[in-house]
Structure 1
Amino acid sequence: MQETTLASYFYYWGKAQKQELDFKGDSYHLLPYHSLDVAAVGVEYLSQHDSLSRFFCEQLDCSREDWLNWAGFWLALHDLGKFSEAFQSQKPELFEQLQGREPNSEKPYSERHDSLGQWYWNDRLADQVIDDGWFIDGQQSSLDCWVRAVTGHHGQPPKASPSNSPSDDYFSKKDRKAIQAFTEELQTLFLTDGAKELCLQLTPIQFESISKALSWWFTGVAVLADWLGSNTDYFPYQGKAIPMQKYWAEAQVNAKKALAKSGVVPSDIKRGLSFNDLFPVIHTASPLQQWAIKVDIQKTPQIFLLEDVTGAGKTEAAITLAYRLMESGNTDGFFVALPTMATANAMYERVSNVYSKLFVDDANLVLAHGSRNLVDDFAKTIIQASKPENDSEQKDETASARCTAWLADHNKRALLAQVGVGTIDQALLGVLHSKHQSLRLLGLFGKVLIVDEVHACDAYMQGVLEVLLEFHARAGGSVILLSATLPVHMKQKLLGAYAKGRNALCPVISEQAYPLATWWQAINTNQLHQEPLATREAVTRTVAVNYQHDMAQVKNAVLAALNAGQCVCWIRNTIADALEAHTLFTNEIPTANITLFHARFCLSDRLDAEELVLHKFGKSSTHALRKGRLVIATQVIEQSLDVDFDLLMSDLAPIDRLVQRAGRLRRHSRDVQGNRLLAEGAADQRGEPCLWVYAPAWTNEPSAAWVQDVLPKAGFVYPDHGQLWLTAKALQSGSFTMPHDARHLIESVFGDDSQIPKGLQQANLTVQGQQMADASHAKNNTLTLVSGYKRGDVMDWWSEAKTPSRLGEQSINVVLARWENERLVPWVKRNHSWAYSTVKITERLMAKAQLPATVNQLVEYNRALESLPDKGKWSLLLPLEQNSSGNWVAQAWTSDLNKAAQLLTWEYSVQTGLQMVSENNYKGAVSE
Structure 2
Amino acid sequence: MNHLWAKKVEKDGDLYWLPLAQHLNDTAAVIGLLWEHWLSKGQKNLVISSVGDEEKAKNVTQLLGYLHDQAKCTPAFQTKKSYSRSDDLDKQLLEKLEKEGFIGISTLSLTNPTKSVHALAGQALLESYGVNQSFSSIIGGHHGKPVESSHDVSVQLESYEANYFQNEKEADPIHQKWKVLQKEIFNEGLAKFDFKDSRAIPELSQSACVILEGLLIMADWIASNEAYFPLIGIDEDDSAISQEERIQTGFKKWFKTCIWQPEDFDDVVTLYKDRFGFEPRDVQAKLSESIQQASEPGIFILEAPMGVGKTEAALVAIEQLALKTGRSGMFFGLPTQATSNGIFPRIKEWLANITEDAKQNQSLELLHGKAALNDEFDKIPKAQGIDIDGEENGTIVTNEWFHGRKTGILDDFIVGTVDQFLLSALKQKHLALRHLGLSKKVVVIDEVHAYDAYMGQFLYQAIRWMGAYGVPVVILSATLPGERREELVKNYYLGTGKKWKDAVKPDNLAIQNAYPLITYSDGNKIEQVTQFEKQEGYQVEIHRLDDNELLGTLEGCLSGGGIAGIIVNTVRRAQELYHLISNQFGLENVELLHSSFIATQRVNKETNLMSKIGKNAIRPDKKIIIGTQVIEQSLDIDFDILFSDLAPMDLLIQRIGRLHRHEIKRPEKLTIPKFYVLGTSQTFEFNSGSKAVYGDYLLMRTQHFLPEQIRIPSDISVLVQETYAKDEIDLGEDYLKAKNDQEVFLDCKEQRAKTFRLSNPNKPNKGNLIGWLNNPNPDDREERGSAQVRDSSDSIEVIVVKKTKTGISLVDEDNDLDLSIDAKRLATNTIRLPQALSTIRMIDKTISELEIYNKKKLFDWQIQSWLKGSLGIILDENNQFLLNGYRLTYDLQLGLTYEKEEVNG
Give TM-score scaled by structure 2 length. 0.82
Q: CA RMSD in A?
A: 3.9
Change (3 A) 1:567 1:437: farther
One-letter code aligned to 1:645: F
Residue in structure 2 matched with residue 336 of structure 1 by the alignment: 332
Aligned counterpart for 2:216 among listed residues 211, 222, 237: 222
Q: CA deviation at 1:548?
A: 0.8
Aligned counterpart for 1:687 among listed residues 671, 685, 696: 671
Contact 1:270 1:327 in 2 (8 A): yes
Q: CA deviation at 1:914?
A: 3.7
Structure 1 CA distance, aligned partners of 2:851 and 2:777? 41
Residue in structure 2 matched with residue 58 of structure 1 by the alignment: 48
Residue in structure 2 matched with residue 762 of structure 1 by the alignment: 737
Contact 1:337 1:421 in 2 (8 A): yes
Q: CA deviation at 1:248?
A: 4.0
Q: CA deviation at 1:768?
A: 0.9
Contact 1:332 1:447 in 2 (8 A): yes
Contact 2:228 2:251 in 1 (8 A): no
Residue in structure 1 matched with residue 886 of structure 2 by the alignment: 904
Residue 660, structure 1, aligned to residue 654, structure 2? yes
Tell me the alpha carbon deviations over residues 246-299 of structure 1, each in whole angstroms, 9 at most, x when there is no partner.
5542442134313423x5x53232432744544566645322112124333435
Identity of aligned residues (%): 22
Q: CA deviation at 1:199?
A: 5.8
Residue in structure 1 matched with residue 169 of structure 2 by the alignment: none
Residue 715, structure 1, aligned to residue 705, structure 2? no
Residue in structure 2 matched with residue 548 of structure 1 by the alignment: 545
> Which segment is superposed worse, 579-588 or 653-662?
579-588
Contact 1:86 1:171 in 2 (8 A): no
Contact 2:122 2:140 in 1 (8 A): no
Q: CA deviation at 1:182?
A: 6.7
Residue in structure 2 matched with residue 751 of structure 1 by the alignment: 725
Structure 2 CA distance, aligned partners of 1:14 and 1:303? 45
Q: Secondary structure at the match of 2:675?
A: strand
Residue in structure 2 matched with residue 776 of structure 1 by the alignment: 751
Contact 2:429 2:776 in 1 (8 A): no
Residue in structure 2 matched with residue 388 of structure 1 by the alignment: none
> Which segment is superposed worse, 176-185 or 322-331?
176-185
Unaligned runs of 5+ in 1: 1-5, 131-137, 385-402, 675-684, 894-902, 924-928
Tell me the alpha carbon deviations over residues 185-204 of structure 1, each in whole angstroms, 9 at most, x when there is no partner.
464366446445796586xx
Residue in structure 1 matched with residue 799 of structure 2 by the alignment: 816
Residue 345, structure 1, aligned to residue 337, structure 2? no
Structure 2 CA distance, aligned partners of 1:242 and 1:509? 72
Residue in structure 1 matched with residue 636 of structure 2 by the alignment: 642
Q: CA deviation at 1:573?
A: 0.9
Change (3 A) 1:658 1:687: same
Q: CA deviation at 1:793?
A: 5.1
Tell me the alpha carbon deviations over residues 337-363 of structure 1, each in whole angstroms, 9 at most, x when there is no partner.
222222222222332331222241132
Change (3 A) 1:854 1:346: closer
Q: Secondary structure at the match of 2:379?
A: helix
Residue in structure 2 matched with residue 485 of structure 1 by the alignment: 479
Residue in structure 2 matched with residue 510 of structure 1 by the alignment: 508
Structure 1 CA distance, aligned partners of 2:873 and 2:409? 33
Tell me the alpha carbon deviations over residues 556-579 of structure 1, each in whole angstroms, 9 at most, x when there is no partner.
444565664422322111222222
Residue 119, structure 1, aligned to residue 120, structure 2? yes
> Which segment is superposed worse, 470-479 or 161-170?
161-170
One-letter code aligned to 1:8: H
Q: Secondary structure at the match of 1:430?
A: helix
Structure 2 CA distance, aligned partners of 1:181 and 1:820? 69
Change (3 A) 1:509 1:815: farther
Change (3 A) 1:794 1:352: closer
Residue in structure 2 matched with residue 399 of structure 1 by the alignment: none
> Which segment is superposed worse, 815-824 or 49-58?
815-824
- Which residues of 2 match residues 732-743 of structure 1 at below 5 A? 733-743=707-717
Residue in structure 2 matched with residue 271 of structure 1 by the alignment: 264
Aligned counterpart for 2:614 among listed residues 585, 606, 618: 618
Tell me the alpha carbon deviations over residues 539-564 of structure 1, each in whole angstroms, 9 at most, x when there is no partner.
x1111112112x24223444565664
Change (3 A) 1:311 1:854: closer
Residue in structure 2 matched with residue 47 of structure 1 by the alignment: 36
Tell me the alpha carbon deviations over residues 819-845 of structure 1, each in whole angstroms, 9 at most, x when there is no partner.
679988998976755763444444226
Q: CA deviation at 1:104?
A: 5.7
Structure 1 CA distance, aligned partners of 2:193 and 2:27? 23
Change (3 A) 1:790 1:472: same
Q: CA deviation at 1:405?
A: 11
Structure 1 CA distance, aligned partners of 2:66 and 2:113? 24
Structure 2 CA distance, aligned partners of 1:856 and 1:770? 38
Residue 726, structure 1, aligned to residue 714, structure 2? no
Tell me the alpha carbon deviations over residues 48-72 of structure 1, each in whole angstroms, 9 at most, x when there is no partner.
1241552244222344333333222
Change (3 A) 1:197 1:190: closer
Change (3 A) 1:850 1:741: closer
Change (3 A) 1:306 1:456: same
Residue 582, structure 1, aligned to residue 575, structure 2? no
Structure 2 CA distance, aligned partners of 1:181 and 1:639? 62
Tell me the alpha carbon deviations over residues 54-108 of structure 1, each in whole angstroms, 9 at most, x when there is no partner.
2244222344333333222322444456561453354342212322499769459
Q: Secondary structure at the match of 1:461?
A: helix
Residue 156, structure 1, aligned to residue 145, structure 2? yes
Structure 1 CA distance, aligned partners of 2:557 and 2:352? 42
Change (3 A) 1:793 1:528: closer
Change (3 A) 1:609 1:149: farther
Contact 1:603 1:835 in 2 (8 A): no
One-letter code aligned to 1:598: H
Structure 2 CA distance, aligned partners of 1:560 and 1:847? 50
Residue in structure 2 matched with residue 14 of structure 1 by the alignment: 7
Aligned counterpart for 1:254 among listed residues 249, 267, 270: 249
Structure 2 CA distance, aligned partners of 1:311 and 1:853? 44
Residue in structure 2 matched with residue 897 of structure 1 by the alignment: none
Residue in structure 2 matched with residue 789 of structure 1 by the alignment: 769
Contact 1:347 1:640 in 2 (8 A): no
Aligned residues: 828
- Which residues of 2 match residues 413-562 of structure 1 at below 5 A? 415-504=409-498, 505=500, 506=503, 507-510=505-508, 512-523=512-523, 525=524, 527-534=525-532, 537-538=535-536, 540-549=537-546, 551-558=547-554
Structure 2 CA distance, aligned partners of 1:406 and 1:269? 22
One-letter code aligned to 1:367: L
Q: CA deviation at 1:433?
A: 0.7
> Which segment is superposed worse, 60-69 or 168-177?
168-177
Residue in structure 1 matched with residue 784 of structure 2 by the alignment: 802
Q: Secondary structure at the match of 2:333?
A: strand
Structure 2 CA distance, aligned partners of 1:405 and 1:880? 35
Change (3 A) 1:607 1:72: farther
Residue in structure 1 matched with residue 65 of structure 2 by the alignment: 75
Contact 1:544 1:735 in 2 (8 A): yes
Q: Secondary structure at the match of 2:415?
A: strand
Residue in structure 2 matched with residue 891 of structure 1 by the alignment: 882
- Which residues of 2 match residues 46-445 of structure 1 at below 5 A? 46-48=35-37, 49-51=39-41, 54-79=44-69, 84-85=77-78, 87-90=80-83, 91-93=85-87, 94-100=89-95, 106-107=109-110, 111=114, 116-127=117-128, 129-130=129-130, 138-139=131-132, 141-150=133-142, 152=143, 155-157=144-146, 161=152, 163=155, 165=157, 167-168=160-161, 173=166, 181=181, 184-185=184-185, 187-188=187-188, 191-192=191-192, 194-196=194-196, 200=200, 207=203, 210=205, 212-240=206-234, 242=237, 248-261=243-256, 263=257, 266-272=259-265, 274-275=268-269, 277-278=271-272, 283=278, 285-295=280-290, 296-359=292-355, 360=358, 361-369=360-368, 370-371=370-371, 372-373=374-375, 375-378=377-380, 380-381=382-383, 407=403, 415-445=409-439
Structure 2 CA distance, aligned partners of 1:292 and 1:836? 39
Structure 2 CA distance, aligned partners of 1:593 and 1:122? 69
> Which segment is superposed worse, 744-753 or 217-226?
217-226
Structure 2 CA distance, aligned partners of 1:729 and 1:247? 77
Contact 2:299 2:492 in 1 (8 A): yes
One-letter code aligned to 1:533: Q
